[in-house]
Amino acid sequence: MNEGKRLLVLGIGNRLCRDDGIGSVLAERLSHRTEHENVDIIDGGTIGLGLLYLFESYSDVIIIDSTDAGAEPGTLIWYSLHDLEATEGEGKVSHHQSGVLDLLSHARLMGCLPKNVILLGIQVAAIEPEMGLSEEMRERLPMLETCVEEEIGHWLKTNA
């Protein structure tokens, strides 16, 4: 493992608004299944800028969040930091894009922006004020877990 390389997998979202909480739910589930000394998986919920301190300790970050790109529910869409910054003001790629971009902008200003940032956007089926994921998302949860685990595995392989 390269010295100083650490990965943060950060799930965000509001579990009180159906599929909006998919990032939070995935982070919680993966945190019980994935163990590696240089990888931490954290459910960031809706804390927003309160997560800034986390970036000081990581070289790489994968953010998991809900998105509405008009794709089939459960579709995973990869966004680089450049992709996120390029879409600012043109429409959201993430339901928490303003918060995510604020978080990343503050990290850059404070000099703690991780070298590599990826947002894994997950196309949602329903966002409404109700607890729990929609049936479509519950059915796709195992597949989404596998996709995020593969991304973590890829990171481990390239940073060993």
Q: For residue range 57-79, list pLDDT tens digits in order.
A: 999 999 999 988 889 998 999 99
- Out of 7-16, 60-69, 83-92, 116-125, pick the least confident: 83-92
The two structure tokens encoding residue 32: 């019980």
Higher pLDDT, 102 or 110: 110
Residues 23-31 have a mean pLDDT of 96
Res. 160: pLDDT tops 80:
no
Predicted TM-score (pTM) of the model is: 0.90
Higher pLDDT, 126 or 94: 126
Task: Give the pLDDT of residue 69.
Answer: 85
- What is the Cα–Cα distance from 118 to 155, expressed in whole angstroms? 12
The two structure tokens encoding residue 27: 């982070």
Residues 120-134 have a mean pLDDT of 92
> Which one, of 79, 42, 43, 46, lies nearest residue 57 by Cα?
42
The two structure tokens encoding residue 20: 């909006």
How far are the Cα atoms of 27, 134, 149 from residue 126, in angstroms, in the given order? Answer: 19, 6, 24
Res. 138: pLDDT tops 80:
yes
